[in-house]
Amino acid sequence: MQESVQSEQHDSASKEPSHAGTVICRFGRNLVIEDNKQQLIHCSFRQNLGHIACGDRVIYQQTSEQEGVVSAVMDRQTLLTRATFGGEEKPLAANITQMVIVLAPQPEPSEYLVDQYLIAARRVGVPAVITINKADLLDEAETEALQKRFAHYELIDCPLIFISAHQQQGLKPLTDLLQHQVSILVGQSGVGKSSLTNALIPDLDLQTQKLSDKRQVGQHTTSASTLYDLPTGGRLIDSPGVRSFRPGKIDLQTLENGFADLAEFLGHCRFRDCSHTTEPDCALLKACESGAIHPKRLENFLHMKKELEST
């Protein structure tokens, strides 16, 4: 595949040949890059390249057997970012192709949070999957109730998969969806993201060990973003920042994009300034009545819109 280079900064003094690679792990100003032969190399990068994220495709020059310097970052297909306190968007993961939203019976799942994640997925430009973990805690009736409660997401192209990370149950449909993709797991703390990561990647420790071998002595890497290989195919980017990712501030357009199921009805109400709550001939309320929109989606949309207008 032909890849274009975003910000090439060739060092004219460098006689080293250039290689292409993928950022497998980023910690501070250090990168572990995987080359096209799955060999790992420790790289530094120049400040003027800006932020480099795990998953980025880069060009580097090898300066010794073990070391290299990244000189360019290739165009990203997708970029997941996190807003810093200063309002700056900091890259969390590059080139992801799928978001896996993890829910569980405990902590209590929230459609509102799911809808926020779906806005974020839409903004990044990737599809989302919902997994309900800890299915082992549910009896048949409870499973059915949760299935019913979240079924409407399947109608908006968001598959719903019940699993148990602990008992390794129901993982097959999920691993099938993870194949050929670069995925991230997101969700509230306590839903089982790390348990699921461990269940999906049995050789997680080995992969981490291989990476630490490439890191400089004394580096603490617990917060490093890492791109793992899934044994069944596909890859997973994981880091505390990615796992606890919460969608930041958005504008009206981003909100409407995130509610594609509602968007086709917007602008079709009798009143231009319809609040979509009690008005006659409200296209959105009618769509709810006919089942084209789930009322909870409309409720969350209106709530988010209000929040957005009040800030």
Do the strands 160-162 and 128-132 form a parallel or antiparallel pair, or are they unpaired? parallel
Name, in order, each residue with C-beta under 8 angstroms of 88's C-beta and a sequence gap of 6 or more: none
Q: Which of 24, 227, 274, 298 binds Zn ion (CB under 5 A)?
A: 274
Stretch that binds ligand GDP, among 144-152, 182-190, 210-218, 266-274 (CB under 6 A): 182-190
Cα–Cα dist 221/274, whole Å: 52
Question: How near is the Cβ of 108 to ligand GDP at its closest, in Å?
Answer: 14
Name the residue number minimizing CB distance to ligand GDP: 192
Indicate the DSSP class of residue 310.
Answer: T
> Which listed range, 22-30, 53-61, 90-98, 188-196, lies at the site for ligand GDP (CB under 6 A)?
188-196
Q: Is the peptide bond before 107 cis (omega within 30 degrees of 0)?
A: yes
| Residue of the chain from 28, 50, 107, 190 that contacts ligand GDP (CB under 6 A) | 190
Output the smallest distance, CB 131 to ligand GDP, in A: 10
Q: Helix, strand, coil % (nearest 5) of the chain?
A: 35, 25, 40
Q: Per CB under 5 A, which of residues 240..269 are in contact with Zn ion?
A: 269
- Contact string 117-156 vs ligand GDP (x = CB under 6 A): ----------------xx-xx-------------------
Nearer of residues 119 and 269 to Zn ion, judged by Cβ: 269
Return the H-helix or E-strand segment holding 258: helix 252-258
Query: CA–CA distance from 105 to each of 102, 188, 289 (Å)?
Result: 11, 12, 28
Answer yes or no: are the C-beta atoms of 252 and 109 closer than 8 Å. no
Residue 190 Cβ, how far from ligand GDP at the closest point, in Å? Answer: 5
Q: Which residues bind ligand GDP (CB under 6 A)?
A: 133-134, 136-137, 164-166, 187, 189-195
